[in-house]
């Protein structure tokens, strides 16, 4: 294992030694602006997030709910490009020394070029990529290019994923497994789906990779609930919602304090002695 994939592995392993889950924060690049997005990402890393997931804005974010879709639309209308995503990764990693992964749909990477994208992401200090719509049976070109540059390939599994598919997906993946806690799109929920607690042990039957749970977590209490059985807690929409709320009230300067406050709450949640 080499490059920043080792940093990712070490970060997740350290959280496990501390008897807690890792907090993985997700924010799209270019939202509310490129510089504003970098500032928000640095804020969550500075206030307790262990890993950050930088979203690559796409015109057809079919797996994302209305909150993320709104942010992505703002980023795209602002002219964000893949180069800005790479810059966001570079500046976030250099400023904090923490692992940064990219969340991207497959089409933008193919159009940009697999070799070009993996090379630039690795050079920027990226630790890997979450690819929610890349079928594992079609992933060999990506995995070869990523592995050659020390990048993790993180696949998403759902409650409906069969045992046979779990075996195939986890064997091909690296870094960690992204466990979607429910069927549906991203977004905050009043309660964490009960499917998550069932899905995590099913995944662990097939792999020793850490398992991080996402979709629906928005409070410290929910983070603590998921941290009781998962290796990582992934939060995205709740951060975006804080930034959108600040913009809606014409208080853009309050966006950074808002996401910082939420990060501190979630960080305390994953550190509660719930295991």
Measured distance between the N- and C-terminal CA atoms of the chain, rounded to whole angstroms:
29
Query: Which position has the higher pLDDT, 142 or 246?
Result: 142
Catalytic sites, residue numbers:
53, 64
Residue 193 has pLDDT above 70, yes or no: no
What's the CA gap between 109 and 148, in Å, rounded? 17
- β-pairing, 156-157 with 100-103? unpaired
For the ranges 18-22, 59-63, 70-74, 83-87, the lowest mean pLDDT is seen at: 59-63
The pLDDT of 47-56, averaged and rounded, is 98
Domain boundaries, the chain: 4-270
Confidence (pLDDT) at 2: 61
Q: In degrees, to the nearest 5, what angle opens at C-alpha 129 toward C-alphas 56 and 134?
A: 85
CB 222 within 8 A of CB 182: no
**Residue 21 per-residue DSSP state:** P
CA distances from 181 to 152, 211, 214, 227 (A): 21, 11, 6, 13
- Residue 275's pLDDT band, with cuts at 50, 70 and 90, is very low
Calculate the CA 186 to chain-centre distance. Answer: 12
> Can you give the pLDDT at residue 188?
47
Rounded to whole angstroms, how far apart are CA atoms 27 and 109? Answer: 18
Mean pLDDT of 177-199: 67
Count of other CB atoms within 10 angstroms of residue 254: 16
For the segment 85-113, the average pLDDT, to the nearest whole number, is 97
For the chain, the farthest-separated pair of C-alpha atoms sits apart, in whole angstroms, at 50
**Is residue 77's pLDDT more than 60?**
yes
The predicted model gives 23-44 an average pLDDT of 97
Arch. (CATH architecture) of 4-270: Alpha-Beta Barrel (3.20)
Three-state SS at 272: coil
Confidence at residue 252, expressed as pLDDT on a 0 to 100 scale? 53
Contact 76, 59 (CB under 8 A): yes
H-assigned helices in 18-79: 34-46, 66-77
pLDDT for res 216: 81
Rounded to 5 degrees, what angle do the CA atoms 7, 236, 145 make? 45
- What pTM does this model have? 0.93
- Band (pLDDT 50/70/90 cuts) for residue 189 is very low
Condensed to tens digits (0 to 9), the pLDDT of residues 214-272 reads 978 999 999 999 999 999 999 999 999 999 998 765 555 689 999 999 999 999 999 98
* CA of residue 12 relative to chain centroid, distance: 13
Q: What is the pLDDT of residue 185?
A: 45
Percent of the chain's residues with pLDDT above 70? 91
Span 127-139, pLDDT tens digits: 999 999 999 999 9
Structure tokens at 226: 């998921």
Helices within 51-98 (DSSP H only): 66-77, 82-96
* pLDDT tens column, 162-187: 999 999 999 999 999 999 975 444 44
How high is the pLDDT of residue 106? 96
Long-range (24+ apart) CB contacts under 8 A made by 11-18 are 11/50, 11/51, 11/98, 11/99, 12/50, 12/51, 12/176, 12/210, 12/231, 12/232, 15/50, 15/231, 15/232, 15/270, 16/210, 16/231, 18/271
**Average pLDDT along the chain:** 91
Residues 6 or more apart from 49 whose CB is under 8 A from it? 23, 24, 25, 98, 263, 266, 267
């Amino acid at each position: 294992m080499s490059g920043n994939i080792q940093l990712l592995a070490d970060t997740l392993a350290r959280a496990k030694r501390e008897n807690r889950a890792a907090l993985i924060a997700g924010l799209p690049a270019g939202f509310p602006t490129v510089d504003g997005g970098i500032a928000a990402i640095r804020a969550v890393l500075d206030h307790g997030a262990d890993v950050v997931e930088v979203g690559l804005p796409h015109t057809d974010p079919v797996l994302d709910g209305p909150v993320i879709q709104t942010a992505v639309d703002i980023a795209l209308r602002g002219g964000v490009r893949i180069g800005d995503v790479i810059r966001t990764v570079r500046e976030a990693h250099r400023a904090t020394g923490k692992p940064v992964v990219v969340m991207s749909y497959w089409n933008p990477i193919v159009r940009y070029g697999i070799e070009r994208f993996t090379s630039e992401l690795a050079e920027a200090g990226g630790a890997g990529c979450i690819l929610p719509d890349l079928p594992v049976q079609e992933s060999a070109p990506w995995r070869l290019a990523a592995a050659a540059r020390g990048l993790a390939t993180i696949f998403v599994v759902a409650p409906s994923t069969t045992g046979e598919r779990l075996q195939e997906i986890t064997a091909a993946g690296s870094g960690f497994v992204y466990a979607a806690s429910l069927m549906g799109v991203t977004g905050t929920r009043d309660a964490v789906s009960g499917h998550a607690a069932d899905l995590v042990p099913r995944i662990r039957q097939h792999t020793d990779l850490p398992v991080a749970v996402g979709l629906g977590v928005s409070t410290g209490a929910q983070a603590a609930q998921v941290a009781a059985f998962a290796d990582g807690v992934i939060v995205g929409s709740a951060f975006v919602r804080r930034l959108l709320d600040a913009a809606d009230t014409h208080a853009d300067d309050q966006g950074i304090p808002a996401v910082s406050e939420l990060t501190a709450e979630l960080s305390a949640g994953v550190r509660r002695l719930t295991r």
